[in-house]
Structure 1
Amino acid sequence: MSDPDRKTSAPLAVLKGMYAAESRYLAAGGPGKADFATLAPFFAPDVVLFQAEGLPYGGMWRGHAGLERFFLVMSGTWEVFDMLGREFLATENPVVVRTHVHARARATGRELDFPILQTITVDEGRITEVHPFYWDTAAIARACAHGGSAG
């Protein structure tokens, strides 16, 4: 709990602290270049991230090591993945966040703009579960695959 962004264990405060730490992590180069220790204090050791199976990074990602692998796969999938216009729809457990994303697939160069709705559970000051819901997983998969067409 030494990170200055984690002054309280209230779910919204933890999440805002994590987003600030994520910005620092990505600004430092992200996966493979920055130290995941920037983000680790915000996540429970047994955190679970659920991604839709139809996505190039679909599946269940468990623990800190799983999150590190997830960030590596995401950075391999997307050349750009900007999370913009965050709106907190619920501020207690689970926190619900609607985010607008602008992304460019690394393999195809295709660009997409889409919303993500996430439910995020915080327990004892750490994120324990993340459930992102994508508007159109098929469009995302097509944008990332050679030979497909987005839209």
Structure 2
Amino acid sequence: MTATDVPSGGHYDTLNAFYAAEQRYVTAGGVEAGADFTELAALFHPEFVCHQGPSLPYSGDWRGAQGLEQFFAVFTATWSSLELSDVRYFSGDTGVAITMRMKATARATGKRLDTTVAHFLIIEDGLIREFNVFYDDPVGLTEITTS
């Protein structure tokens, strides 16, 4: 596997488009504020699944475009802001691993999260088919969002 600073081309363009669209969608307030989900949905395979850990406020398996939109409804209800930085990509034959710093503000508490996140993605037909997310401190994340 190789790591690069700012990859582009092929599936990296899809990933960069996803992260940019995700930030815009969260900042726009998501479904509750009438934000348009079309830009995000276009980047995912019809058999898409996103796996989120069991201790998170948005835990579970989120399937297809409808499931992903439901996930983002919960995600944007959880966070009022989202900043991603220090993104590092590691590519393989069937997908990409990504580490990044995530800074976010919890809507319910106003508390700020500053953590490391890892994404493991499977790419098929130029679209994201599987998305696994791991947080450095998932219990701390849940505490920030609820208390």
TM-score (norm 1): 0.81
Give the superposition deviation at 1:26: 4.7
Counterparts of residues 7-86 of structure 1 (less than 5 Å):
10-26=10-26, 29-32=28-31, 33-86=34-87
Q: What 5-or-longer segments of structure 2 have no aligned partner?
A: 1-8
Stretch deviating more after TM superposition (15-24 or 66-75)? 15-24
Task: State the identity %.
Answer: 34
Q: Contact 2:29–2:80 at 8 Å: present in 1 too?
A: no
| Residue aligned with 2:30, SS | coil
Give a deviation string over 1:84-121, Cα, whole Å, max 9, x none.
22111226422011110011111111112000011111
Distance 1:30 1:38 in 2: 15
Q: What's the secondary structure of 1:108's corresponding residue?
A: coil
Q: Which has the higher contact order (CA 8 A, sep 6+)?
A: 2
Structure (1 or 2) with the larger CA radius of gyration: 1
Gaps of 5+ in 1: 1-7, 147-151
* Distance of 2:83 and 2:16 partners within structure 1: 16
- Corresponding residue number in structure 1 for 2:114: 113
In the alignment of these two chains, the number of paired residues is 137
TM-score, reference length from structure 2 = 0.83
Distance change (3 Å), C-alpha of 1:13 and 1:74 = same
2:140 aligned partner: 139
Cα deviation, residue 81, structure 1: 2.1
Aligned letter for 1:112?
Answer: L
8 A contact 1:78–1:106 mirrored in 2: yes
